[in-house]
């Protein structure tokens, strides 16, 4: 192997490792920034390695392209408003998909225009080209629509019309058929030196794939766009992988697959945090708030709640700025106050601001919670009343509801028909995230179902409170 090719391959390997380490670190708050930089170094290395190792004949296009891209990308990244970040990511993602698609297109045209100098289009190459084109084009147009929706250029509302799913399915099948046609017919067309038709069909494939990308994203409401962007990000990884298959380039395959897979996992995690299933996302029936889809009075089950584990909760709490604890009768039953105190102390030592909010009617006797918390030596200055916390509760990163139920039931605020209507509550449903620790979904003292449990930002941690807190504590200590 030539030295520079050897260098290129080794550099690619290092790049791939840096990407893996970068992603790993990006998923942890303390190391995220370093992770991002590692990945950026990996990218730089991959680019340099390519320029050294590949037989670059013309430089002017590369230099021009890199300069223009750097200026545009840097400008957009530098001056975008923080609130506009999600759509910016969507837009960047679209460009990535476009690049992958164009790589596939260039390879296709190289064959079909006879530049490659052979009619032997290997089957794997032509299949990779078709997949790269499809995924790249879908990612490109889909991301543009996602960007438009978040930016307000395209309507944020879910655009739905009858037969939409059917149309998408037909379009998708049609695209597959066109891809198969091109795989079969292109070599013959090259041999016969008559590639006019296949070229036109190939351009049509681009058009159809872009249309599919648009159709897949328009029925989705603006609120769900981040999930869509994440999913499209996963697609653009796969598009890069397909480009890697086309060019027989391992770093493309590896990094693309990495992003494809981790993007999918991240999408799933994001769905879970929104109390949605991935299938729900992929098949596009989303766009409305999950909780509101349910008919009033309908019996809801475990399937409707976002059931989490102690480690999820630990992650949420440990990296929050503001945590609110809402103790209830369940805390007393489980005698979990000491453990709760220990957990909160630990969180405070990590820099988390912890407030205990005691509802006047929490527990089975007046002052029940105070007795418990005093026993665990919780300082009085950490105890708050609902009206102290409610106005700012939207800024609370995490509410931990320990065995309380009626005192956090939004029906008391929203449902005039409810027996609880009018009772002041701790409005944990308005916080960014709420974790409810409970033994089951059974109603509380008032015998009423609690809407809170089914909301998208609510996580349910089932089990005995002392047990659960103990497990969360263990997990937090390990972070």
Q: Considering only residues 291 through 320, tell me which ones interact with another protein, judged by CB under 8 A.
A: 311-312, 315-316, 318-320
- Residue among 213 and 260 whose Cβ is closer to another protein: 260
State how far the Cα of 90 lies from the Cα of 94, in Å rounded to an integer: 6
**Measuring CA to CA, how many Å separate 32 from each of 13, 36, 271, 272?**
22, 6, 21, 21
Query: Is 30 a known active-site residue?
Result: no
Contacting another protein within 427-466 (CB under 8 A): 432-433
256 counts as binding another protein under rule CB under 8 A? yes
Distance of closest approach, residue 241 Cβ to another protein, in angstroms: 6
Distance of closest approach, residue 11 Cβ to another protein, in angstroms: 11
Candidates 210, 252, 305, 426: give the one binding another protein (CB under 8 A). 252
247 counts as binding another protein under rule CB under 8 A? yes
State how far the Cα of 298 lies from the Cα of 161, in Å rounded to an integer: 28
190 counts as binding another protein under rule CB under 8 A? no
411 counts as binding another protein under rule CB under 8 A? no
- Residue among 3 and 58 whose Cβ is closer to another protein: 58
Among 22, 29, 25, smallest CA distance to 315 is for 29
351 counts as binding another protein under rule CB under 8 A? yes
# binding residues, another protein (CB under 8 A): 121
User: CB neighbours of 47 closer than 8 A, spacing ≥ 6?
Assistant: none
Distance of closest approach, residue 89 Cβ to another protein, in angstroms: 5
Contact segment (CB under 8 A) with another protein among 152-160, 242-250, 276-284, 420-428 equals 242-250
Contacting another protein within 93-122 (CB under 8 A): 93, 95-96, 98-100, 102-103, 105-107, 109-110, 113, 115, 120, 122
- Residue among 312 and 427 whose Cβ is closer to another protein: 312
**Which candidate in 224, 312, 406, 449 is catalytic?**
406
Distance of closest approach, residue 66 Cβ to another protein, in angstroms: 5
Contacting another protein within 365-404 (CB under 8 A): 397
Which positions from 200 to 239 touch another protein by CB under 8 A, shown as an x/- string? --------------------------x--xx--x--xx-x
Which positions from 69 to 98 touch another protein by CB under 8 A, shown as an x/- string? xx-xxx-xxx-x-x--xx-xx--xx-xx-x
Residues with a known catalytic role: 406
């Amino acid at each position: 192997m030539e030295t520079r090719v050897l260098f290129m391959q080794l550099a690619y390997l290092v790049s791939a490792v840096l990407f893996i380490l970068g992603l790993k670190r990006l998923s942890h708050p303390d190391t995220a920034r370093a992770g991002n930089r590692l990945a950026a170094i990996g990218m730089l290395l991959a680019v340099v390695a390519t320029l050294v190792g590949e037989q670059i004949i013309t430089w002017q296009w590369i230099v021009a392209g890199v300069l223009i891209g750097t200026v545009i990308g840097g400008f957009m990244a530098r001056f975008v408003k923080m609130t506009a970040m999600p759509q910016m990511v969507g837009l960047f993602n679209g460009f990535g998909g476009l690049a992958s698609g164009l790589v596939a297109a260039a390879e296709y045209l190289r064959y079909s225009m006879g530049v490659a100098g052979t009619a032997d289009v290997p089957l794997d190459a032509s299949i990779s080209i078709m997949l790269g084109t499809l995924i790249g084009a879908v990612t490109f147009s889909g991301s543009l629509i996602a960007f438009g929706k978040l930016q307000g250029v395209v309507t944020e509302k879910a655009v739905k019309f009858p037969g939409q799913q059917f149309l998408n399915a037909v379009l998708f099948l049609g695209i597959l058929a066109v891809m198969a046609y091109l795989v079969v017919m292109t070599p013959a067309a090259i041999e016969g030196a008559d590639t006019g038709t296949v070229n036109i069909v190939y351009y049509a494939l681009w058009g159809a794939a872009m249309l599919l990308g648009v159709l897949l994203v328009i029925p989705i409401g603006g609120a769900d766009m981040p999930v869509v962007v994440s999913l499209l990000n996963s697609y653009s990884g796969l598009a890069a992988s397909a480009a890697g298959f086309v060019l027989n380039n391992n770093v493309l395959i590896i990094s693309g697959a990495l992003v494809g897979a981790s993007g999918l996992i991240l999408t799933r995690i994001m769905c879970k945090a929104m109390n949605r299933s991935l299938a729900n996302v992929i098949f596009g029936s989303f766009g409305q708030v999950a909780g509101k889809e349910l008919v009033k009075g309908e019996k809801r089950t475990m399937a409707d709640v976002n059931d989490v584990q102690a480690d999820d909760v630990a992650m949420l709490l440990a990296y929050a700025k503001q945590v609110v604890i809402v103790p209830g009768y369940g805390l007393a039953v489980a005698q979990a106050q000491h453990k709760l105190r220990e957990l909160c102390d630990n969180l405070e030592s990590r820099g988390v601001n912890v407030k205990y909010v005691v509802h006047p009617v929490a527990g089975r006797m007046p002052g029940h919670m105070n007795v418990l918390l005093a026993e665990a030596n919780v300082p009085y200055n950490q105890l708050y009343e609902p009206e102290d916390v409610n106005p700012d509760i939207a800024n609370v990163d995490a509410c931990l509801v320990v065995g309380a139920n009626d005192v956090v039931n939004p029906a008391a605020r929203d449902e005039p028909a409810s027996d609880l209507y009018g009772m002041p509550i701790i409005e944990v449903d308005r916080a960014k995230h709420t974790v409810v620790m409970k033994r089951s979904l059974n109603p509380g003292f008032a015998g009423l179902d609690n809407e809170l449990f089914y909301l998208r930002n609510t996580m349910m941690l089932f089990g005995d409170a002392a047990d659960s807190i103990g497990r969360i504590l263990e997990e937090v200590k390990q972070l």
